[in-house]
Each structure stands twice: as C-alpha cells, then as structure tokens.
Amino acid sequence: MRDFGGTTVVVSGAATGLGRALCERFGRAGSRIVALDRDAAALRRAVEALQASGVSALGCDCDVTDEAACRQAIQAGAARFGGIDLLVCNAGISHHGEFVRTLPDVIRRVMAVNFLGAMHCTHAALPELLARRGMVVAISSVAGFAPLVGRTGYAASKHALHGFFDSLRSEVADAGVAVMLVCPSFIATDIDRHALDPQGNPYRGTKAIAGKTATPAEIADLIYEAARRERRLVLPGATARIAWWLSRLAPAGYARIMARRMRL
C-alpha cells in the first residue's frame, strides 16, 4: 500500500473535470500538486482553489504536445517540491465522425494530445520517478481495449497508451516504479464539448454514446484507492468491466452492440 502523504503528484489536464478532481483527491491525502494545463485561466482558478483548501500546489501552463514545455513543467515541479513521486497522464481530447469523413490532421491532433502528450510527460518525469521509486498513472478508456465506432483516432490513441505503458512497466518494474492504466467508460466531463468534428472544428453534435455517467470525484476516488494498491489495470464501474469481458469473449457481439448504440 502506497502512502501519498507528503509526496509530489503531477497531473496533466488538471484545470477541469477528472484532472481537477484528481488534484483535489490527492491533495486531501496530503500530496503536493503540480497541475499542468494549456487553459491558463482555468488552471489559475483550480490552483487557487487547491491552495485555499490548504493544498500546496503549483500551476504550470503546458501544452502536452510540446515536448519542451512538458520537460520545463516537470522540472519546475521537481525544483519547487524536491522531486516527483507520481505522474498522472490525464490530458486528452476526442473527436466524432466516421473515418471516411475525417481529415487525417484530426487524427494526428488526437494522437498528439492523447498519446504523444503522455509520452512527453513520462519521458520528462521518468528520471525522478526512478530515483524515488514512483508511479505513473495513465488515464485510458474503454476505447483503449475495444473498438469505438465514429472515433477511430481516439480509440487508436488509447490503444497506443496500453502498448506503451504495458511495455514501460516491464522496463521499470525491477526499479520499483509502478505503472497503472485506468479505463473509465462515461464520466461527466467536458471532453465532448471540446471534441473535434471531422474537419477539425469544435464538435457541435450530441454525446456519441448514451450511458450512465460517473462524476469526476467518484472516478478520482477509485483511482486514488487503486493507486495506493498499485493496481496494473483499473476498470471503474460495471460498464467498463462488462465491456472488458464482452470484448474478449464475444468481440463480434460487442462490436454490434456498440454500433447500435452509436449516434454519429
């Protein structure tokens, strides 16, 4: 069981939604928070709220697609708090639309944020994590292990996280660094509001898949408890667990069910 009291936790995509909830949850456990986000105004509000609640927090403006910005932010957090113990790769973006109608640049943008952003942050933080026997938590999705109609780029980016972090785990386990993948289903966040349409413009349609949503705070609690136990894979909620097993035991059936529920 890990104890996060007195540790330094870096969270990307920290200004709103699940990222902010994770900052709050680890902050309540006594962690020092390094919050990364490209929305400077929202980041400032989040950090001020953390500090007002007694949490030691540093905000760093950071676009995770910029490798140098990620390295600078990680170094700033380590310098401020004396090291990095946990990295949470949470920053993400989605898109909606059949691949035949989607510009390749949209897929590239999604991959740049969801996969390369996580890789940039991890590469920058890994020396600190190795030195302190730390931990990486990557926020994936049900789309990280199963198909998702109408969001090929999003699914590809999340599948890539699994290949990357499962492989990284095998490299760093003997050094005492833990790696955990989290695959939520539906969370009440603004990811759809900030999603891209097939031409790369803001998506103005309805939510793509109907389903019961969890609050960011509920998922943050589950992630915190799983991180304490150094779980390798976390499937928060019944929907994620059902999707995991159904996609493996009856993949064709899973694809048909998912396609019927899809609204493009």
254 is an active site residue: no
Q: For residue 187, name the pLDDT band (cuts at 50, 70, 90).
A: confident
Q: According to the model, what pLDDT value does residue 18 have? A: 97
Q: Counting Cβ atoms within 10 Å, is residue 256 exposed (0-12), middle (13-18) or buried (19+)?
A: exposed
Beta carbons of 214 and 188 less than 8 angstroms apart: yes
Residue 79 contacts by C-beta under 8 Å, 6 or more apart in sequence? Answer: none
Phi, psi angle pair for 85, to nearest 5°: -110, -30
The strand pair at 32-37 and 135-139 is best described as: unpaired
The tokens of 87 are what? 């990295």
Percent of all residues in the chain with a pLDDT value above 70, rounded to a whole number: 96
The tokens of 51 are what? 């500090």
Q: Is the pLDDT of residue 159 over 60?
A: yes
Exactly one of 154, 203, 224, 254 is catalytic; name it.
Answer: 154
Residue 165 contacts by C-beta under 8 Å, 6 or more apart in sequence? Answer: 118, 136, 138, 179, 181
3-state secondary structure of 7: coil
Q: According to the model, what pLDDT value does residue 209 have? A: 53
Determine how many CB atoms are found less than 10 A away from the CB of residue 97. 22
Mean pLDDT score of the chain, rounded to an integer? 94
* Rounded-to-integer distance, Cα 167 and Cα 158, Å: 14
Beta carbons of 86 and 9 less than 8 angstroms apart: yes
Give the mean model confidence (pLDDT) for residues 55-71.
98
Q: According to the model, what pLDDT value does residue 167 have? A: 98
Q: According to the model, what pLDDT value does residue 206 have? A: 66
Q: Is the pLDDT of residue 207 over 70?
A: no
Give the mean model confidence (pLDDT) for residues 141-154.
94
Q: Is the pLDDT of residue 157 over 60?
A: yes
* Rounded-to-integer distance, Cα 176 and Cα 49, Å: 33
Q: For residue 208, name the pLDDT band (cuts at 50, 70, 90).
A: low
Give the mean model confidence (pLDDT) for residues 215-240.
96
Q: According to the model, what pLDDT value does residue 52 have? A: 98
Angle at 29 between CA 25 and CA 30, to 5 degrees: 120
Q: According to the model, what pLDDT value does residue 263 have? A: 53
What are the tens digits of pLDDT across the range 20-50?
Answer: 999 999 999 999 999 999 999 999 999 999 9
Total-model pTM:
0.94
Q: According to the model, what pLDDT value does residue 264 have? A: 43
Residue 52 contacts by C-beta under 8 Å, 6 or more apart in sequence? Answer: none
